Amino acid sequence: MQMHSRFRSDRRLTTRMGITLFLLGLVYVGFVAALIVLLKSWVLVVLVAAAVLGAQYWFSDRVALFAMRGRVVEREEFPELHGVVDRLCAIADMPKPVVAVSDMDMPNAFATGRNPDHAVVCVTTGLLRRLEPAELEGVLAHELSHVAHKDVAVITVASFLGVLAGLIVRFAFYSQLFGGGRRDQNTAVVFAAVMGVSAAVYALSFLLIRSLSRYRELAADRAAALLTGRPSALASALTKVSGDIARIPTKDLRTAQAFNAFYFTPALGREPGVARLFSTHPSLEQRLDQLGRISAELGEATAPGGV
């Protein structure tokens, strides 16, 4: 029997995604309504909202690749990488995503795209240099599960609200700074209200997305471990990557941190401190504990992709 059922729908993840999108939708409607009342220009608000949402949905994969210096690679250039992706996609019975490589020493990987037919899986050269074949297979299975579960698209759409709130704050700030003209007390009140509403919306969307993001990482670990049949290999990759990222200079991680929600493991420095509390990922200990339980259930007796 073909084992694509191992990438079957995760009901708890699906439920969490639905609840998150519903709550964000309520916040979004309230946000747009508040902006229309405050700015007295529903055309501007709707146009900006539609443009940002459309851009995030249709071009998120290109933006992420560009930001992380990723490039699409063909089989001739990275035959082993393509081979692993081909094999996993065959086992999971899913379309093969575009394969990309980012020339970065930071060991990591991410998946992005609006659906399984328009997805990209990208790994860094730092990851390829550090991992053994079985470990790389585990990481790629983790990323492919994000595509199969469609949670990449949900995170992309969910993060739209925070991005829109940030853009509104910038627009309001610069229009006040450079707009010229008469600035009366009413204008100042509207400006303060827009800033306050946007900040509240950003905070709410931030917390909702973080909650969903942490759970989806555990779901991806679980799905990858079951697909490959080697939880210990994925655990080894997690331990190795997390340890090596902690040794990467903080200045080299700053660009990557904006995309932490999409990464295999977050780009946190040596002393993450408070950042750990708001991380997009569960702790390394939580992930290893789950993989340990799966390993015990499977007995680590199965070969990769086997029954």
Write out the catalytic residue numbers: 143
The answer to whether the annotation marks 146 as part of a ligand binding site is yes
The answer to whether the annotation marks 297 as part of a ligand binding site is no
The answer to whether the annotation marks 300 as part of a ligand binding site is no
In angstroms, what CA-CA distances link 225 with 7, 13, 22, 82, 239?
Answer: 10, 16, 30, 20, 15
Tokens of 181: 């003209």
CB under 8 A, 24+ apart: contacts of 248-251 = 248/105, 248/106
Q: Given the DSSP bridges, would you call strands 118-124 and 109-115 parallel, antiparallel or unpaired? A: antiparallel
Q: What is the DSSP letter of 121?
A: E
* Three-class SS state of 95: coil
Give the bridge partners for 263, in sequence order.
Answer: 110
Q: State the angle between helix axes of 42-67 and 151-178 in degrees (0 to 180), rounded to the nearest 10.
A: 120
Contact between 58 and 81 under an 8 Å Cβ cutoff? The reply is: no
Going by the annotation, the residues of the binding site for Zn(2+) are 142, 146, 217
Which residues sit in the known binding site?
142, 146, 217
